[in-house]
Amino acid sequence: MKEIKKFGLIISALLFSISLVLIAQEQPNEDNKNFDVEKAKTKYVEAKCNTCHSFSAYGIEKKNKSANNKAPDFSEIKVEYDKEFLKKYLNKEEQINNKKHPVAYKGTDEDVELIIGLILHNVPKNEDNKQE
Ligand code: HEC
C-alpha cells in the first residue's frame, strides 16, 4: 500500500514538471513578443526587397524571375549576420564574401530595422505572433 502511494506521488510530480515545461514553451520569446510581422512585411515590400528576394514563408515572391537573379529567398537561408552588420551591408558599408549588396537601402532607420527583424527572426516563431 505504501509503495503504491509513493508511486502515485512520483507520477504526479512528473506530470507537474512536464506541464511546467509545456507552459514555458508557450511563452513567446522576449525578443519576438512585440514584433509587428505585418508591418515588417509591408516595409519589406515598400522597400522593394521583393524585386529580387522571395520570402516564401510569408508568401512573398520575387518579381525578377530571371536566372541571373541570384538573390536568396530568406526562408531558404539562415542569415549569419547581426542587425548592426546588416544595416551597414544594406548601406553598402560592409561586404559579404567580398561583395557589397547590389543596391543601397534608401529608407529610414526604423524601417530597415523592421525588415532586418523579419529576416533574422524568420519563421516559424513569428507566424504565431500574427494574431496578436
Ligand atoms: C536588385 C536586386 C536586389 C534587391 C532589390 C535587394 N537585394 Fe538583397 N541581395 C541581392 C543579391 C543578388 C544578394 C546576394 C549577394 C551575394 O551573394 O553577393 C543579396 C543579398 C542580401 C542579403 C545577404 C544574405 C546572406 O546572408 O547572404 C541580405 C540580408 C539582403 N540581400 C537583404 C535585402 C533587403 C533587406 C532588401 C530590401 C531593402 C534587398 N536585399 C533588396 C539582390 C537584391
Per-residue pLDDT tens over the stretch 14-35 = 777 766 666 565 544 455 667 8
Distance 20 CA to ligand 1 centre (A): 42
CA angle 83, 86, 88 (to 5 degrees): 115
In a domain, 3, yes or no: no
In a domain, 8, yes or no: no
The three cell numbers locating residue 130: 500574427
- Per the structure, the count of domains in the chain is 1
pLDDT recorded at residue 13: 79
Measured in whole angstroms, the distance separating CA 33 from the mean position of its chain's CA atoms is 12
Which of 43, 49, 53 has most ligand 1 atoms within 8 Å of CB, for mutation? 53
Percent of the chain with pLDDT over 90: 64
pLDDT recorded at residue 124: 42
Does the N-terminal peptide bond of residue 124 adopt cis geometry, omega within 30 degrees of 0? yes
Highest mean pLDDT among 16-25, 33-42, 91-100: 91-100
Range of the domain at 105: 32-129
In a domain, 91, yes or no: yes
Instruction: Please provide the average confidence, as pLDDT, over all residues in the chain.
Output: 85
In a domain, 58, yes or no: yes
In a domain, 24, yes or no: no
